[in-house]
Structure 1
Amino acid sequence: MTAPPYRIFAIDDEPDNLLLIRQALRQLGHPLCETESDPVRAIERFLAEDFDLVLLDYNMPGLSGLGVLHAIADKSRSEQIPVVMVTAQIDRDTRLQTLGAGAKDFLGKPIDLAELKVRVHNLLETRTLNLALRQHNQHLEEVVHARTEELRSTQLEVIRRLARAAEFRDTDTGLHIQRMSLFAQAIGREMGMSTPEHELLLNASPMHDLGKIGISDRILLKPGKLTPEEYATMQEHTLIGANILQGHDSELLRTAHDIALWHHERWNGDGYPNGLHAQQIPLPARIAAVADVFDALTMVRPYKSAWPTEEAYREVCRLAGNHFDPDVVLAFDACFEEILHIRHANPDPAR
């Protein structure tokens, strides 16, 4: 391993000692030696600059080497910069104090050139290995992060395609899930959700009607009104979707499960499949319900014509406190201009 040109920082209140250390280090092949005789300025420089090793005098007036060591300990430890305490005091208490404060080694006074060479060589070799290990770990973290993002992206794409497969059975474009998930994100953001929360809503909402995969075309695409038996079968799409999505610890799939299962529950308890009431219904499902109904009302379906946008807006507002969570409807109303923009940017093709 080739060593880099190390920067060594010598701190001593005696200029003659600093000159001696600098000359000795140059003889040992370390020309980059910075010196400082003022301990307070030394602290400032150490915190502002990059060094590979510090030679610190123990006995200095005003602020001792131990005081300097305490001031620079956080950076020296976190960046693994070795500090050598230069002292004529070799008693046990002094050594324990300085080692406890973060010193890595000692160098006796007067300085012996051979001893200086060995101490500096060993500590800089360790410094080189630590830097190499840190770079290796950083590289591994970057690789893991990239792989994790790649896996997450792949999972999201598979999920979106699965959701679109279900949607294509009900419409001929699959744009409903794109719009309603963007509507849901806008509503969640308006309600004060954090970025991770409303992005989770964006990615989980497309799976709200995944269970339609298990509903026969005879019922799903029936142009007229469903019989009570057919309607009961249609309601099973919530259970089918939840069954497909359950049993995984992924937060995305857990949220998608809740939305698929409960997006047809009603604030007044008259919904299905479980007749949940008010806040018993998970918030993502309450938000998805508003986004889903508004977009569905404005779409052409086999059994109905598209509602005008303003009429659909009034209907959603009318159902606040009955079908929908009133707070969700308030957020829907507050971000309605954004919802209109989303709708205009993602139109269904002209028929």
Structure 2
Amino acid sequence: MEPRQTVLIVDDTAENLSFLGELLRAEYAVRAASSGARALDLAARSPRPDLILLDIMMPGLSGFDVLQRLKQSPATSDIPVIFATAMDSKDDERKGLVLGAVDYVTKPLHPSVVLARVRTHLRLKQERDGLVRQNDSLQAVVTRGTREKQIAQDVTIRALARLAETRDNETGAHILRTQQMVLELARRASAHPRFACELDPHTIELIGKSAPLHDIGKVGVPDRVLLKPDRLTDEERAVMMTHARLGADVIARAEQDIDEPADFLKFARQIALHHHERWDGGGYPDHLAGTDIPLAARLMAIADVFDALISRRAYKPALALEEVLRRMRDERGRHFDPDLLDVFLEDVDAFVEIARRLPERPPQAHAAGAATPH
């Protein structure tokens, strides 16, 4: 059996409280208050009333005052209020309705009228509460489904990135570090006038999600090149450079295979294809220059180069931070977007801390030995 709905009756006259209490008690749980202050106290207590029958003309807080305070509190703002008063001014009725009352009954109170109004508005409240619960339930399902979809995307991205890692000498820490560095740089760049419009929080999240796929194209590079422990010849370097377009093509085919667009794949494709472009046009594969290079790829270029320089590889030792910064400053306006590099250099310690938190793991052995630079 469902609990009875609760009606709070508010009137400064004992006779009226007694009359309303006797009238409503057969169908509802009734609580009574003889002042506005007491009404506010009872309305805030659990269980909260399902409806309030409120007198207007009371000493101290008037019914109008009580209604205003009820509407100001999130805990009581949705409780329907019916005014009960001897006042018959249309202006007063209009004021009550403007303040948020759902109905208006005049004194002397007629039992049948009071019961009809109370029943009507309690039924409406029940229906509204049911819709709210249904909406909350649906929202919970949508939220859970969205979260599961996000997890599936993240797992897929990480799995693909790990696939590239198994064929390369670079550790999984490189994937994690560059992802965190791209996120950190993008958040900082979002405060710069040049980038504020492009780097809203949602875009930053998508760029960060897609960053681990920047070298996915290496799965298509032959072992003789990818796993070579020494520096590459010009011919081998040309083969290695194909990983940018190979990666972009793989992601483009994935985009075609899904039923609905996935925005992060757009950024993943941009990053995979263009993270080796240079600000001066001397990069690859398309020799883009300046702002023709997508912003996501310009962000990745800084993170990728910084992490490569501070990390040990089979073909080189890790460089001291001072030397890394000197080399990167020399590439301002040549390799890197000058404003983005300035943002990066404003607080290099933040990026060094990312590298410290995610150290290199010992490189895994490959059949052909350690692999080569990217």
TM-score band, normalised by shorter chain: 0.7 to 0.9
> Conserved in 1, the CA contact under 8 Å of 2:181 and 2:303?
yes
Instruction: Name the counterpart of 1:160.
Output: 158
Which range is displaced more, 252-261 or 41-50? 41-50
Distance 1:44 1:301 in 2: 70
Letter in 1 for 2:317: A
> Conserved in 2, the CA contact under 8 Å of 1:12 and 1:36?
yes
Instruction: Name the counterpart of 1:52.
Output: 50
Letter in 1 for 2:283: G
Instruction: Name the counterpart of 2:317.
Output: 306
Instruction: Name the counterpart of 1:30.
Output: 29
Instruction: Name the counterpart of 2:130.
Output: 132
Distance 1:295 1:140 in 2: 44
- Residues 303-333 of structure 1: per-residue CA shift (max 9 Å, x gap): x212323233322222122111222222333
TM-score of the aligned structures, taking structure 1 as reference length = 0.80
> Conserved in 2, the CA contact under 8 Å of 1:47 and 1:75?
no
- Displacement of 1:4 in angstroms is 4.5
> Conserved in 1, the CA contact under 8 Å of 2:43 and 2:49?
no
- Displacement of 1:12 in angstroms is 4.2
TM-score of the aligned structures, taking structure 2 as reference length = 0.76
Letter in 2 for 1:25: L
Counting only pairs closer than 5 Å after superposition, residues 81-230 of structure 1 correspond to structure 2 as: 81-86=79-84, 102-171=100-169, 173-191=171-189, 192=191, 196-230=202-236
| 3-state DSSP of counterpart to 2:9 | strand
- Residues 21-41 of structure 1: per-residue CA shift (max 9 Å, x gap): 23433354423x233545xx5
> Conserved in 2, the CA contact under 8 Å of 1:190 and 1:334?
no
Distance 1:74 1:124 in 2: 21
**Cα gap change, 1:29 to 1:300, in 2 (>3 Å):** closer
- Residues 260-301 of structure 1: per-residue CA shift (max 9 Å, x gap): 121111111222222222223222211211111122234454
- Residues 78-114 of structure 1: per-residue CA shift (max 9 Å, x gap): 9653333435688999988866765444545322334
Letter in 2 for 1:237: H
Which range is displaced more, 52-61 or 307-316? 52-61
Letter in 2 for 1:184: V
**Cα gap change, 1:261 to 1:34, in 2 (>3 Å):** farther
> Conserved in 2, the CA contact under 8 Å of 1:298 and 1:307?
yes
| 3-state DSSP of counterpart to 2:54 | strand
- Displacement of 1:158 in angstroms is 0.9
> Conserved in 2, the CA contact under 8 Å of 1:268 and 1:322?
yes
| 3-state DSSP of counterpart to 1:269 | coil
Structure with larger RCO (C-alpha < 8 A, sep 6+): 2
- Displacement of 1:207 in angstroms is 0.8
| 3-state DSSP of counterpart to 1:86 | strand
**Cα gap change, 1:323 to 1:22, in 2 (>3 Å):** same
- Give % identity: 36
Which of 235, 239, 242 is the equivalent residue of 2:245? 239
Letter in 2 for 1:349: R
Letter in 1 for 2:9: A
> Conserved in 2, the CA contact under 8 Å of 1:53 and 1:82?
yes
Q: What runs of 5+ residues in structure 1 fail to find an aligned partner?
A: none
User: How many residues end up aligned between the 2 structures?
Assistant: 345
- Displacement of 1:206 in angstroms is 0.8
Distance 1:300 1:88 in 2: 87
Q: What runs of 5+ residues in structure 2 fail to find an aligned partner?
A: 192-198, 364-374
**Cα gap change, 1:46 to 1:237, in 2 (>3 Å):** farther
- Displacement of 1:11 in angstroms is 4.0
Instruction: Name the counterpart of 2:334.
Output: 322
Query: In the alignment, is residue 297 of structure 1 matched against residue 295 of structure 2?
Result: no
Instruction: Name the counterpart of 1:258.
Output: 270
**Cα gap change, 1:79 to 1:133, in 2 (>3 Å):** farther
Distance 1:179 1:337 in 2: 14
